[in-house]
Chains A and B, each alone.
Chain A
Amino acid sequence: MSRLLGLYAAVVYAFLHLPLLVLAVFSFNASRFTRWEGFSLRWFRAALTNTQMAEAAWNSLLIAAVSTCASTILGTLAAYGLWKRRSRLLSGSLYLTLLTPEIVTGVSLLVFFQWLFRFPGLQLGMHTVILAHITFSIAYVTVVVLARLRTLDPSLEEAALDLGAPPWQAFLRVTVPLIQSAIAAAALLAFTVSFDDYVITSMVAGVDSETLPMVIYAIARRGASPELNAVSTFIVTALGALVLISERLRGR
């Protein structure tokens, strides 16, 4: 039976990986059609010189960087707080952000911001996207950091308290150094999730805050494009590398 199982697994792994591999292969295709006509880097060059994509990529990086910083701090503190004492309110809210369909989160934030902005006359823009990203990223950070915290020996913090350290010092001098690789892994995960988000971002982005997923979506909607293949290959490789590093850090 194990031979059959192995064969089956190979088929499923092919199913999981072939689409992206095919995309990657064709991003090096000299022709813009689905016929292989030779190896070429023209689409990568085209993608790099596409100003709309470049601006969108820059926006995505900025948004991801800011929201990752904020959500990592908020999420780590939340994980620590939950490790010390359960809070059904906080746990429940975090679960809800993970399970609520993205479109619902997106429209509710759109409605909320529009309602809020009537008074000071603000608009949707980078700031609203960043706020939205922070909101849905916190839970990812908390899950990763809390999992690591649960493997820690609670008597370490007790010893720190016993030796005279106030709780915030025990946290900073003893707990944080012991979970730093988990925090890093969580941050990378939050970055990945933020960079790739389309649904929520599209609802709360303003005119000047187009992100790379939004550009990709627009092109994909119109039909395929070889530049898109190139961009896709690049992004998948980059994000895949981040996830790889994140998993390594989690394992430590």
Chain B
Amino acid sequence: MPPVLQLVDVSKHYPGHAALSRVSLEVRRGEFFALVGPSGCGKTTTLRLVAGLEDPTSGDIRLNGRSLLGLRPYLRNVSTVFQNYALFPHMTVAENVAFGLRYRHPGENSARKVRETLELVQLAGKESRYPAQLSGGEKQRVALARSLILNPELLLLDEPLSALDPALRKQVRAELKALQRRVGVTFVFVTHDQEEAMSVSDRMAVLHRGQLEQVGPPQELYLRPASRFVASFLGSVNWVNGAGVRPEATHVSAAPPEGREAVKGHVERITFLGDRLHLGVRLASGGSVTAQVSRFDAGFEPGQEVWIWWRPEEELRF
């Protein structure tokens, strides 16, 4: 059984700018797959290529093994949830959700399907509202319903959480994950927020300047990054003597630890972050590191001489 989506050596060039360079990846059936990277890395371009809104310069895109090249967007069984939701302002919620039915499933009982899908996204009863009367979260659910009602092979989500209030994001994130589990459709989710990507995805891909840096489950990318970029994108990294160590793996002691190699330094700055502290430590050898310390292990003072150490297995080398 071929994977749901395959990108084979896909490139997209604009005059003077390469948005994607020879990207190959696979998305498996039923996965919640995330595409992450800083802005301009090509993740939205990838989405648009899969949706058919643009054509790749070279390479192939396959859905269940069959090439999508040249196929117009309205003939692909792929559906997109746009970043600004793109709800049709002159149609009610029900009309929005039912919009694509006549093209994919003509003649079916659309009212029933609309009701069922709205129940699925917990918007039952809002059929005759207009988009202008909905909150951001509700709009997103209408966009989801509008796409899901068509039973797509693949659902593409373009930064679905960035338009929401920060307070709402975590909750909606969890709801999206639950929805995907329930429905079973393969989700490809694009975001620039690595924490978001790591928390929801089964597997994720990091893109940088149009190139694929690494693909795999979030733990693998975080704990065993394949490049400096992936390491510093998915979290913070301290660089000491050519090795990388994450702040939470950087231990601080007031006295030199027994049986471990340690580096001497002094506390330059203490940042209180509520549940933890960040200690900015200036090393005797020059350079500085940030160590993450639980607030229960506090007791350090600015200027205090300390020793920095870490477990060898926590080291990141490239």
Contacts and interface: CB of A to CB of B under 8 A. Distances in A.
Touching chains A and B, CB distance < 8 Å: yes
Contacts of A165: 74, 99-100, 103
Closest 9 CB pairs of A and B: A164-B103, A163-B100, A159-B86, A155-B86, A164-B100, A161-B73, A177-B90, A162-B80, A164-B74
Contacts of A173: 99
B86 A158 contact: yes
Nearest to A164: B103
Nearest to B89: A178
Given A155-B82, A159-B86, A164 B104 contact: yes
Contact of B74 (A156, A166, A177): A166
B289 interface: no
B150 A159 contact: no
Most chain-A CB neighbours within 10 Å: which of B72, B78, B100, B147?
B100
Nearest to A155: B86
B130 to A, nearest CB: 13
A164 B90 CA distance: 19
A8 to B, nearest CB: 43
Contacts of A164: 74-75, 100, 103-104, 150
Contacts of A178: 89-90
A141 to B, nearest CB: 21
Most chain-B CB neighbours within 10 Å: which of A156, A164, A174, A178?
A164
B90 A162 contact: no
27 contacts: A153-B86, A155-B82, A158-B53, A158-B80, A158-B82, A158-B86, A159-B80, A159-B82, A160-B99, A161-B53, A161-B72, A161-B73, A162-B53, A162-B147, A163-B74, A163-B100, A163-B103, A163-B147, A164-B100, A165-B74, A165-B99, A165-B100, A166-B72, A166-B74, A167-B74, A169-B103, A178-B90
A178 B51 CA distance: 24
A167 B75 CA distance: 11
Interface string B50-90: 01110000000000000000001111001110101010111
B146 interface: yes
Interface string A158-194: 1111111111010001100110000000000000000
Interface size class, chain B: 20 to 34
A37 B318 CA distance: 102
Interface string A83-115: 000000000000000000000000000000000
A153 B82 CA distance: 12
Contact of A161 (B74, B90, B147): B74
Contacts of B78: 162
Contacts of B103: 163-166, 169
Contacts of B73: 158, 161-162
Contacts of A155: 82, 84, 86
A161 B71 CA distance: 12
Contacts of B150: 163-164
Most chain-B CB neighbours within 10 Å: which of A160, A163, A164, A165?
A163
Nearest to B84: A155
A175 to B, nearest CB: 10
A157 to B, nearest CB: 9
A167 B53 CA distance: 12
Nearest to B53: A158
A233 B250 CA distance: 88
A153 B99 CA distance: 18
Contacts of B90: 177-178
